[in-house]
Amino acid sequence: MSLQSLNASALAGYQEWEQRTGPGMRARYSDFLPREPLFEIRPNDIVVTLPGYRIAQTSPGLLSVSTPQGQNVAIRGLHEAELAKALELLDGHTSVIELSRSSPLHWPLQAWQALLQILLGTAVDLPAVFSSLASVLRLSELVRFPDQPPHSLWRNYWENATDVRRHLPKIYQALEGSAAFRAELAHLHVLATIGSNGHSYYGGYGLVPTVPGGYREIGVQTAIPASLVNTLDHWSSLLGTESIQREGEITTPRGLVMCVIREQGTIVEHRATGTMLFALLDEARLFLTTVRQSGARDHASDMLRDLAYFHQIFINAHPFANINNSIAMNLVNDCLLRAGFGRLPHLLLDYLAQRLPPDRYATAFAAAVRLHVLPEDDRPEWQAALDRSAALYRQYRQDRDNTTQAI
């Protein structure tokens, strides 16, 4: 699906979906680990059971399904024997739609899908689906914190991100020209919002309807709570860059205004539109070009500096209504992988990029790669990076909870 082929009917369909699902999509920003599985169960999926789950009747009409690790989920309206029978039918060969047609429970397809989605990660799993998606794009390249489970993602997000990854060679080919680069970048946003099939919807929810592939025409602002500002100060110091900037402008290495910070770091304004927005994207294009030209670990310091500049300018240009960091990190991770570094979770890098001047952000970015990147073949390093990312998430939760208690 290209921007040119996005007709009025397709656009209306996406925007209607966006309005209908807006609150749920917006909720993904409130915490980084949702309480219920988001990954959609589809009719042709083959679902398998996980070992060690337990079913208990906690009250009339209420079941609890738990794992040895302490996770649990509540199931309403089923008897214990019914749920046990349903899970016994998951033989690793029968699809969900086949279960709805031939199982002795006589449940409709939608009932099977709803139940199995709730149980994802607790009693059931989708190993074939997750393995297929990970063959193109690993989970750790899509999430802020790498121990986030796969069922906590929207399925369309992962699938669309694989479409974006497959299209990246086209954007690299377009780096020589500003207009060609913007056209391919717009196509990446189309893929991220509606997928290559045109109806794999994913996105955010803002004050104006999203146009897939449409560059932003009005200024916007992004906001975070004061608790997250405190976390950023803490993490920034661990990365060797001291406190974040809480007020004023941040400019690109070439002197263009990227954003304006207000309200003690909680509000960031992205004012550039039109020719100013395109000027920012052109500077981002030039830094991505130098990354591609160096692109090897023997030029690590220069490459990471320019990759940081690309990421920071892209984030602050905020060219689209939504999914900006997802597209930027898709490019960042592809460049890191091609240069032999490994995979970098999103962490809180986009928030730092909005609150540090370029030289300090480049320092923070390089440190984040050194500390948090997940290498391909060194298990001790991988575990150490995982532990550091988990500690960052715990710090965020602690700062958030402390701020809530103070209020």
Q: What is the pLDDT of residues 266-292, one digit of tens each?
A: 999 999 999 999 999 999 999 999 999
Residue 108 belongs to a domain: yes
Mean pLDDT of 119-143: 96
Q: Are 347 and 145 in contact (CB under 8 A)?
A: yes
Distance of alpha carbon 82 from alpha carbon 106, whole angstroms: 11
Residue 33 has pLDDT above 80, yes or no: no
pLDDT band, very low/low/confident/very high, at 407 (cuts 50, 70, 90): very low
Residue 276 belongs to a domain: yes
Domain that holds residue 12: 1-30+154-214
In this structure, the answer to whether residues 277 and 260 fall within a common structural domain is yes
In this structure, the answer to whether residues 220 and 297 fall within a common structural domain is yes
Mean pLDDT of 321-338: 96
Residue 43 belongs to a domain: no
Mean pLDDT of 118-146: 95
Residue-level pLDDT at 402: 80
CA distances from 12 to 9, 32, 38, 210, 302 (A): 5, 30, 24, 10, 44
Distance of alpha carbon 328 from alpha carbon 323, whole angstroms: 9
Q: Which of 214, 230, 259 finishes a domain?
A: 214
Residue-level pLDDT at 147: 85
In this structure, the answer to whether residues 334 and 254 fall within a common structural domain is yes
In this structure, the answer to whether residues 22 and 57 fall within a common structural domain is no
In this structure, the answer to whether residues 393 and 370 fall within a common structural domain is yes
Residue 264 belongs to a domain: yes
Residue-level pLDDT at 26: 59
In this structure, the answer to whether residues 118 and 163 fall within a common structural domain is no
In this structure, the answer to whether residues 180 and 258 fall within a common structural domain is no
Mean pLDDT of the chain: 91
CATH of the domain at 68: 3.90.930
Q: Please, what is the end-to-end C-alpha distance for the chain in angstroms?
A: 48
In this structure, the answer to whether residues 52 and 89 fall within a common structural domain is yes
Residue 349 belongs to a domain: yes
Q: Which of 214, 229, 251 finishes a domain?
A: 214
The domain tally of the chain equals: 3
In this structure, the answer to whether residues 225 and 210 fall within a common structural domain is no
In this structure, the answer to whether residues 70 and 11 fall within a common structural domain is no
Residue-level pLDDT at 315: 98
Q: Which of 214, 232, 253 finishes a domain?
A: 214
pLDDT digits (tens, 9 = 90+) for 71-117: 899 999 999 999 999 999 999 999 999 999 999 999 999 999 999 99
